Structure 1
Amino acid sequence: MSKRAQNPKLDEASILMDARKIIAPQIEDRSRRSFLLRSLTLGGVAMLSGCNITDSDNVETALSSISRFNDRVQGWLFNPDAMAPTYTESMITRPFPFNAFYGIDEAPVVDEDSYRLEVTGMVADKRSWKLEELRAMAQIDQITRHICVEGWSAIGRWGGIRFSDFLKRIGADTDAKYVGFKCADDYYTSIDMATALHAQTLLTLTYDGAVLPREYGFPMKLRMPTKLGYKNPKHIQAIFVTNTYPGGYWEDQGYNWFGGS
């Protein structure tokens, strides 16, 4: 994902387009969705957000309010027992596309021998982890679709530890609200605990049967087929469990926090 361009002036059409994109995926019934989206005017956005939309600052506030509302709706609709589709090996996208907010040559180089995964926050075991210790835990593979917010998708095969198993191993407080991630490329993001415990959420160490390549996130990537690509952090260096909202690299620039796919 390339760096987001800042738009200092938003017109009404842009506002409504963003609002409709946010709201539409949450409305299951097509006739209801069509009616509601046709009736969504600038006044409707103002009513939903509680803002008087008269300038660009209020527009940003309104869209932020709608996005937070959307986060709550997505969290409420999320079914922790529903599985994302899986695919056969013949359907894997090769080569799998590289995507980040920097060029492929700028992907961080992480030394395997000195690498330590730091674990902090609301966990019983705060010790750091070597890669060899993580590789010694039970591993699974899954072939799932990566969906990018930019509109493209690709199917890949990831292998690693069920994240729920890792959280259990470190004695994480699973009643906490958030799990946050800090990465070697200065990326950061956070997810809800329900998604962290989902059976398809993996702390991945391999891609397509081999050690996770640098361009795909070495030494590890969190892979969640239930979320959009920007919610799947790569080059993870630290994991923390918290009740304080941690935000995220793109989320702090206006992207939806829940990011369900």
Structure 2
Amino acid sequence: MIRSPHRPEDAPDASVLDTHRPLIRSLERRGLIRGGLSLGALVMLTGCDVKRPEAVEQALLAMSRFNDRVQALLFNPNQLAPTYPDSKILRPPKFNAYYDVTQVKPVDGNSWRLEVSGLVSNRRPWTLTDLQTLPQRSMVIKHICVEGWSYIGGWSGVPLKTFLEHVGADTRAKYVAFKTADNYPSSIDMATALHPQTLLALDYGGQTLADPFGFPLRLRMSTKLGYKNPKWVTAIEVTNTYPGGYWESRGFSWFAGI
């Protein structure tokens, strides 16, 4: 499967948004070199005209969608990712976003509300106190960035499956989508949402999440790359309509499994 070498969660790279870069830059951004797919192979597989960047872009998007389908078929909703002892937890965690840490705008936990919509029976907003009354789970797992770096973090919070059960979500739906205070929409498949290591995280390392790391609520999964874990979550929607996401709209893989 092809993985992109983009920079989705560290310092921003303006070239990600520049659609007029030379063709070879476009190919590199989508991981063809790192993934072992040559330009010649792309031509043979797709029949695209390499002199037309838009044709290559369309071919790459088609391959990315195929990659997503394959990953979804291979995904085992019962297989757990490795866990680690508390002694391995990085304190504080590594900051990662598409902007600098100085641009973080703290969220007021007292006025914050988690909106719920879509295919659910109970759409009332949730307060931080509401979430804290639900059953909690802790896990020490590895955060893996698409760039290649990683760290081990200790997260605690409400299993997303538990939350979905409490709001009467239709778990036959295809997607669970997220909106955030920093305008970083994201979405995941329902199988991943129900995975036992998918958390609505409230704490890190035994303490309340600090502002730069997603207070009061962030998504934390053991089965996805880092850019699929949005912070400062403000809304959750259960839907059958493909929601996409911030980086997905810029050419990144949607499934992004590890």
Question: Does TM, scored on the shorter chain, surpass 0.5?
Answer: yes
Kindly provide the amino acid, as one letter, of the partner of residue 9 in structure 1. P
Alignment partners' CA distance in 2, 1:17 and 1:254: 7
Provide the residue aligned with 1:237 in structure 2: 234
- Identity across aligned pairs (percent)? 51
The alpha-carbon distance between structure 1 residues 126 and 57, as it changes in their structure 2 partners (threshold 3 A), is: same
Q: Distance in 2 between matches of 1:43 and 1:176?
A: 39
Query: How far apart are residue 117 of structure 1 and its match?
Result: 0.3
TM-score normalised by L of structure 2: 0.89
How does 1:217-228 map onto structure 2 within 5 Å? 217-228=214-225
User: After the TM superposition, which residues 39-78 of structure 1 pair with which residues of structure 2 at under 5 Å, given as runs?
Assistant: 40-49=37-46, 51-78=48-75
Q: For residues 121-158 of structure 1, what are the alpha-carbon distances to aligned partners after superposition, in whole Å with 9 as ceiling and x for unaligned?
A: 11111110011000000111100000011110000100
Give the one of 32, 47, 66 matched to 1:19: 32
Task: Note the residue ranges of structure 1 that are not aligned, 5 or more in a row.
Answer: 25-36
Structure with bigger RCO (C-alpha 8 Å, 6+ apart)? 2
**1:105 aligns with one of 102, 105, 124:** 102
- Give the one of 17, 22, 34 matched to 1:9: 22
Contact preservation (8 Å) 1:116, 1:237: yes
| Cα distance change of structure 1 residues 126 and 49 upon mapping to structure 2, 3 Å threshold | farther
Q: Deviations over 1:44-91 (max 9, x none)?
A: 324544644331111111111111110001001111111000000111
User: Over aligned residue pairs, what C-alpha RMSD do you find?
Assistant: 1.9
SS in structure 1 of the partner of residue 87 of structure 2: helix
CA distance in 1, matches of 2:108, 2:30: 44
8 Å CA contact 2:91, 2:205 repeated in 1: no
In structure 2, the partner of 1:79 is 76
> Is 1-10 or 186-195 further displaced after alignment?
1-10
Q: Is the 8 A contact 2:176 2:237 kept in 1?
A: yes
The answer to whether 1:133 aligns with 2:130 is: yes
- Measure how far apart 1:95 and its partner are: 3.2
User: Letter of the aligned partner of 2:225 in structure 1?
Assistant: L
SS in 1 for 2:169: coil
Name the residue aligned to 1:189.
186
SS at match of 1:11: helix
Name the amino acid aligned to 1:260: G
Q: How much does 1:186 deviate?
A: 0.8
Aligned to 1:159: 156
Aligned residues: 245
Q: Are the aligned partners of 2:200 and 2:220 in contact in 1 as well (CA < 8 Å)? A: yes
In the TM superposition, structure 1's runs of 4+ consecutive aligned residues that sit over 6 Å from their partners are: none
Would the aligned equivalents of 2:30 and 2:251 in 1 still touch at CA under 8 Å? no
- Structure 1 residues 134 and 20: alpha-carbon distance in aligned structure 2, compared to 1, 3 A threshold: same
* Cα distance in 2, alignment partners of residues 216 and 61 from structure 1: 35
Structure 2 residue 116 is the aligned partner of structure 1 residue 119: yes
Contact map agreement 1:179 1:241 (CA 8 A) in 2 = yes
Partner residue, 2:146: 149
The 1-side partners of 2:205 and 2:77 are apart by 26
Partner of 2:5: none
Match of 1:94 in 2: 91
CA distance in 1, matches of 2:210, 2:140: 17
Is contact 1:227-1:259 (8 Å) kept? Answer: yes
Deviates more, 1:225-234 or 1:92-101: 92-101
Scaled by the length of structure 1, the TM-score of the pair is 0.88
C-alpha contact (below 8 Å) 1:49/1:65 kept by paired residues: no
Instruction: Specify every segment of 5 or more residues in structure 2 that has no aligned partner in the other structure, as ranges.
Output: 1-9
